[in-house]
Structure 1
Amino acid sequence: MFTEPAHGVEPTGNNQGASTEQVGGSDKNGIYAAARIQYSGSVAKGGGRGNVTSTDVNWTPPPCWYAPYLGAKDFKKEMSKHIDSQLNAPGMGGTAGAALGEAKRHYEDGYGWTDTPGYKDYNVENDGKGMFWAGVENPDEPDYLKRTSCTDLPFWVENGDAPPPQYEEAISPEILAALAYQHMQLPDTKVTLAPEANTKVNLPTWAWLDKAVFDEVQATAALNVPGFNIQATTTAKPVSLKLEPGTRDAVMYPASGECVINADNSIGEPYAKGKADQTPPCGIRYLRSSGDGTYKLRATITWEINWTGTGGAGGDLPNGTFGNEQAVTVQEIQAVNR
């Protein structure tokens, strides 16, 4: 069967705290496809995947969904033109021709199936009272088969009504929350070190993040069309910092390398004069020189993520992680013999 999708356009990005808009739909020849998702808050630049890596390896963002597409008159213009041109194409017949014929009867003559009623003259008598919904591909889904799996024929939804329950992939606050999660831009994770970049073998290196650069991040995805307005805000709250020294020849503080958040929303403790002989609450002690090179210290923040949406909806999403590497030079302590 033929499916005319609401065309998804990749979103444009923004810096943290700014606002941006993704427009999904088309605007040509006076025909307005209303499926548009607006993103605001901390959204990844360029419309690609955000900087969040889910800790749940089985979690994936929605590959496609159903969303408002066209009003009845515009849908009739588009769909009838497409079906007629395909039916009149040379060599069109067999299964494909039969499917197109069924689609034509479905929208023109009221031909339907179980749980899928047909329409008379493309339902134009109800134009302005609702919209036809159609499948939308997630442009950031790399698997083509998943991206194009919303293959049901476009269906009618009255203004203010929920889509029929059989369309589980119909756009919802939960789907919008997952899309906001997918596009969320997290801040760089560069920890402050003392000593800053050059440390010594067996000298404890203190590491910390202060609360000014370690705050929660939000991204909102919204769909606003006549008779159907929903949104969801996804919030990521930092909960811990994991340090990986870039070599096996190191001792971590704490031993797990996982530094938990403090009561004041900082992590670790800044080094201060007089603490040289103390064990840092968050840090590293390298046991071997990095020689002529450096060790790649990786700092990864774990973010606890939840969402709230229209109608009081909400819940948890899998924790996310995001990390950076920074170079650390470790030198031998030079002894002076006399």
Structure 2
Amino acid sequence: MHALTRRRNRWLVVAAAAGMCALTPGTAMAGWGPGGQSNGDTAETGGGRSGSDLVSMVRYSGSSTGGSGGGKGNVTPVGDWNPPACWYEPRTAADFQKYVEDMYTETVNTPGQHSYAKTAVGQFRETYKDGEYKNYNLDEADKGTWWVAVQDPDRWMEPAAQLCNESPFWVVNGDTPDVPNAVTPNVLAELAYNRLRLPETEVTLAPENTTKVNLPTWAWLDGATFKAVDVTAQINVGGLNIQATTTARPISLKLEPGTKDAETYPASGECGINDDGSIGEAYARGKADETPSCGIKYLRSSGKGKFALRATVTWEITWTGTGNPEPAQLPNGTFGADQEVVVQEIQSVNR
């Protein structure tokens, strides 16, 4: 059997044992994950330890980092693309040794732990301590690092998060791991993409909230609110020090009236961005007879209900980073929200 296949099979055995561990009260799931987490605007967060689990060593900072738990975050990629749900990143020999030994100790000392889990974790430990590798390669700690699979904590149940199933492997300093999603500046940029947090998309309307049938309703977004946001992802482990900054810039607003009985300005419903970063044009006294550059005209009333106006901003997303000083394109992203609009009939008095 090929060595890489043997290593993969051993890793799957340990993963299965870890699943048993997860079902045992008081025992943390043994495995490489979850991924790095962010916890607030302008935050800098990254890897650490939680019980016998290692979290990602990727650190995030910038003007737009949000907390985990939001699925794919505020940004929905345009097209059939998603940031990685799992990836590989390095660990020093000492960190790797501590992780495996802690996992082994916790597993074998947990009361009621299944013997299969103890055996599988013991075999995994033996591979790196006294088997295929010796003493976790501590004698070669200055020559390389262990590379391990990590999952995005918000997406660990997705099939894509299970694709990084190679067991930990040794990489000599300066070599590039021959596996998909080995962390690179480009992969870091894609991970940062998933942590972009964008402003709420609520357009300003005139008339506000309540409008009239056949009356053009102006719509706009303030350029001071809808400005570029960015997230930087960086990893610095065992001589690997790379980073990438992903930046999102608003480029257009799409209006969907919430009913077929309406017209949009322009007809496509797509309002482009102005030179000052705003979208649309603010209504002002004296413009009642003008046609808005961005807006809606409802052709029937909402009756006793309301129409759900959908406003979606498209963001152009690029990245720069280690070895890539010029902005490179990532898929555009969208983020939108609904807001309620009441449309009334214009009342007339017959004399």
- Is the shorter-chain TM-score for this pair beyond 0.5, marking a shared fold? yes
* 2:147 matches 1:133: yes
* 2:325 matches 1:331: no
Asked if the contact 2:35–2:56 (Cα under 8 Å) also holds between the matched residues in 1, the reply is no
* 2:20 matches 1:7: no
Task: Give the whole-Å Cα distance in 2 for the aligned partners of 1:34 and 1:51.
Answer: 23
Task: Give the whole-Å Cα distance in 1 for the aligned partners of 2:348 and 2:184.
Answer: 67
Residue from 188, 204, 210 that aligns with 1:198: 210
1:111-143 C-alpha deviation (Å, 9 max, x unpaired)? 5xxxxxxx4443221134432111111212254
Residue from 162, 168, 171 that aligns with 1:148: 162
1:182 maps to 194
Residues 310 and 337 of structure 1: CA distance in aligned 2, closer, same or farther (over 3 Å): same
Q: Secondary structure at the match of 1:45?
A: coil
Task: Give the whole-Å Cα distance in 2 for the aligned partners of 1:220 and 1:135.
Answer: 21
1:116 maps to none
* 2:331 matches 1:318: yes
Task: Give the whole-Å Cα distance in 1 for the aligned partners of 2:169 and 2:77.
Answer: 34
* 2:61 matches 1:40: yes
Q: Which runs of 5+ in 1 are unaligned?
A: 112-118
Q: Secondary structure at the match of 1:11?
A: coil
Asked if the contact 2:251–2:313 (Cα under 8 Å) also holds between the matched residues in 1, the reply is yes
Report the TM-score, using the length of structure 2 for normalisation.
0.79
Residues 44 and 329 of structure 1: CA distance in aligned 2, closer, same or farther (over 3 Å): same
Shift of 1:287: 0.8
Task: Give the whole-Å Cα distance in 2 for the aligned partners of 1:20 and 1:47.
Answer: 17
Residues 333 and 266 of structure 1: CA distance in aligned 2, closer, same or farther (over 3 Å): same
Residues 68 and 50 of structure 1: CA distance in aligned 2, closer, same or farther (over 3 Å): same
Asked if the contact 2:206–2:218 (Cα under 8 Å) also holds between the matched residues in 1, the reply is yes
1:115 maps to none
2:267 maps to 255
Q: Which runs of 5+ in 2 are unaligned?
A: 1-9, 15-29, 109-113
Asked if the contact 2:302–2:342 (Cα under 8 Å) also holds between the matched residues in 1, the reply is yes
Task: Give the whole-Å Cα distance in 2 for the aligned partners of 1:291 and 1:127.
Answer: 73
Shift of 1:303: 0.6
Task: Give the whole-Å Cα distance in 1 for the aligned partners of 2:156 and 2:138.
Answer: 37
The total of aligned residue pairs comes to: 316
Task: Give the whole-Å Cα distance in 2 for the aligned partners of 1:149 and 1:45.
Answer: 24
Q: How does 1:223-302 map to 2 (within 5 A)?
A: 223-302=235-314
Asked if the contact 1:6–1:24 (Cα under 8 Å) also holds between the matched residues in 2, the reply is no
Residues 163 and 6 of structure 1: CA distance in aligned 2, closer, same or farther (over 3 Å): farther
Residues 156 and 184 of structure 1: CA distance in aligned 2, closer, same or farther (over 3 Å): same
2:78 maps to 55
Shift of 1:206: 0.8
1:268-319 C-alpha deviation (Å, 9 max, x unpaired)? 1111222211111111111111112211111110111111121226621111
Shift of 1:243: 0.5
Asked if the contact 2:246–2:320 (Cα under 8 Å) also holds between the matched residues in 1, the reply is yes
Q: RMSD over aligned Cα, in angstroms?
A: 3.1
Shift of 1:181: 0.9
Shift of 1:12: 3.4
Task: Give the whole-Å Cα distance in 2 for the aligned partners of 1:79 and 1:14.
Answer: 31
Q: Secondary structure at the match of 2:193?
A: helix
Task: Give the whole-Å Cα distance in 2 for the aligned partners of 1:294 and 1:131.
Answer: 60
Residues 330 and 130 of structure 1: CA distance in aligned 2, closer, same or farther (over 3 Å): same
1:61-89 C-alpha deviation (Å, 9 max, x unpaired)? 212111123x3355346547878989xx9
Residues 67 and 255 of structure 1: CA distance in aligned 2, closer, same or farther (over 3 Å): same
Report the TM-score, using the length of structure 1 for normalisation.
0.82
1:10-63 C-alpha deviation (Å, 9 max, x unpaired)? 613213xx2241x3342669xx9684121112022345332001111x212212
